[in-house]
Amino acid sequence: MKFNSLKLITTLTLATTLTACGHIPASTMFKLATMDKEKINPVIGQYAFRLPNDVQVAEGLPVVHVSMTKGTMLPAVNRQFILQKITPPITSQHLRSQRKNGYHIVAYKFSNKDMKIANSLMSRINNMRKEKNKMKNGEGYADVKFSFCTTTNIKYKNTNLDQYIKLNPKEDYFTMLSGVNWHEQVNKDLKEKLPKDKQLPKCK
């Protein structure tokens, strides 16, 4: 799904929430991710995660929630998209290049129906941008919620979950593939430290 990301970024702020162990502020995730705001499209429709072999994305997730304020002549938007798990494309050179021993890549996408709905939001996004330029209501966000579980007994202190968010323009993949120590990085910014010996939830 190809959008004009320069237009989009003036209207939407990406807020990423990690729910495996409670709410982590978006500011924390921004520090983890070092996002290129000129290139990221929150409603891209395709996502990929690189995870340790015994870590999975929890059942029923990820979801993408898009919210936009009510405008002068426009209704508010409040949509949630539940992503479908897919096999990572064999042809995806970008994803192949991110393979790593001990890790696996999982990919998700919008359903065809949700993709059409997301595409239809573009006129609303553009109108919201115009309203914002006129100092009227023009705010919104896209919230990507995901949670991880373990098939063994992985603990937070041993969990290197990849959190770098990157968009590959050629393939429209919104990937999270960089290799930071999630526990250490998050603990730098949280007032309440995460328990090092607490296990990730067991996968159902």
Tokens for 185? 């990085």
* Of residues 38, 44, 39, 47, the one with CA closest to residue 1: 44
CA 55 to chain centre: 17
φ, ψ of residue 102 to 5 degrees: the values are 85, 0
Q: Are 57 and 144 in contact (CB under 8 A)?
A: no
pLDDT tens by residue, the chain, 204 residues: 333 332 223 223 333 333 333 333 333 333 333 333 333 344 556 777 777 788 887 777 777 777 777 766 667 778 888 888 888 765 666 676 777 788 888 888 888 888 788 777 766 766 666 666 565 555 666 556 666 778 887 665 544 444 444 444 455 555 555 454 445 544 554 444 555 566 667 888
* Of residues 137, 110, 113, 111, the one with CA closest to residue 124: 137
Q: What is the pLDDT of residues 148-183, one digit of tens each?
A: 778 887 665 544 444 444 444 455 555 555 454 445
Whole-angstrom Cα distance, residue 57 to residue 59?
A: 7
- Global confidence as pTM: 0.57
Q: What is the pLDDT of residues 116-125, one digit of tens each?
A: 887 777 667 6
* Of residues 144, 126, 125, 133, the one with CA closest to residue 63: 144
